[in-house]
Structure 1
């Protein structure tokens, strides 16, 4: 009898607090959940709910005070900053609301950035970056700088950058927040298609309509997990 495969993400009693003006503020209050390979999960909550702090923990941008976080079987909380940076580069593709593109670099140069940090050769990373841009429909915009692209095109560059390193997780923080509704729907459709191709997607949002495009919703309120439901299709 084969053993059950371990989850991609396992969070156990995650607690995070900080001291401000002599008072302890607890942001995450004992969160526990798992995310399997290939899931499309939306984490939703209002401003101040703790969802952005949770995103930082899941993305290895910060480490919780208490509790355990296992990513692909590896315990995260005890790792060094250098090791966390390596995990971010290899295992997580970030898609941000404001794109976070470098304005002086072309689309293909922006997409190459994570590969530079991995030490990939110029010829190989250029080919990977071009293919990633083709994949998101930007083959005609490869040499354009961000200022020469629409908001939707900039977000596609950001998605291509996230894809270039073939990470197991795509972490999207309000990816449609800076876009008009039509372009936002196009980007969201692209994210859904990436999930259908096997990518694990974690989508952070405050918008229930967007969250319901996922296959599962985790709702955070006042630092606690108040709902975890799967959406029937």
Structure 2
């Protein structure tokens, strides 16, 4: 009997390989990665520098193609899509949260949050409504008219999270989201991320910090491009 769409994993990766040629040698950034991620899961990917975390994040975020293997996102085979279709998938299925916030300095918080919706062709009035709703989720609706320079680091990361949330994508992909924050602010951001997960958002978080990783529901440890360990 086939699973219903709600029961099917959101992400299915099978025997994924990513290689690079360097000086006539083939280097394996990812080697035989198989992984499933359920809807509503909070998964953390951890590993030392050079373990393949960034490469796997690029694959999950549809920013790069695998050399071999399969990646299905929400039932769609990603590795066979062209660049335009891949860009559409990125914009509609994945909300990105970066370590360095990546906010545009001349835009207000609301305008920064609206950006993914502009690329989707959402009308001006609807964009504003959706952006304010996303800022409200992260507790910053009252700062919607402030520019990044008028916000603290923690507030900027909250704006970045609101931007990721704005179009209600199935996945929030967070790359070292607390890396540029002090300990207290980082803890507040992690509380927000956990609250979003409890509200039903699927979270994939990349980190090198064990204290951040242990807050996830499941941890995958990468070593030399392979999954070395996984568990709660």
Shift of 1:2: 6.2
Q: CA deviation at 1:3?
A: 3.0
Picking from 186, 191, 207, the partner of 1:184 is 186
> Which one of the candidate residues 18, 21, 24 is aligned to 1:22?
24
CA RMSD of aligned residues (A): 0.9
Whole-angstrom distance in 2 between the partners of 1:2 and 1:102: 45
| Aligned ranges 1:85-100 → 2 under 5 Å | 85-100=87-102
Return the match for 2:213 from 198, 211, 216. Answer: 211
Superposition TM-score, scaled by structure 2 size: 0.97
Matched residues, number: 230
Aligned partners of 1:18, 1:108: CA distance in 2, in Å? 40
Distance 2:103 2:65 in 1: 25
Distance 1:139 1:15 in 2: 43
Compute the displacement of 1:142 (Å).
0.6
When the two structures are superposed, what TM-score results if normalisation uses the length of structure 1? 0.97
Report what 1:169 is aligned to. Answer: 171
The residue number in structure 2 matching 1:38 is 40
Provide the C-alpha distance between the structure 1 equivalents of 2:180 and 2:226, rounded to a whole number of angstroms: 27
- Structure 1: distance between partners of 2:44 and 2:121: 33
Q: In the alignment, what sits opposite 1:83?
A: 85
Query: Could you say what secondary structure the match of 2:172 adopts?
Result: strand
Report Cα offsets for 1:79-132 as digits up to 9, x if no partner.
000001000000000000000001110000000000001110000101110111
Structure 2: state its 5+ residue gaps: none
Distance in 1, Cα, partners of 2:23 & 2:186: 40
Q: Counterpart of 1:128?
A: 130
Instruction: In structure 1, list runs of 5 or more residues that go unmatched.
Output: none
Q: Aligned equivalents of 1:135 and 1:215: distance in 2?
A: 22
Q: Which runs of 4+ in 1 moved over 2 A?
A: 1-5
1:159 counterpart residue number: 161
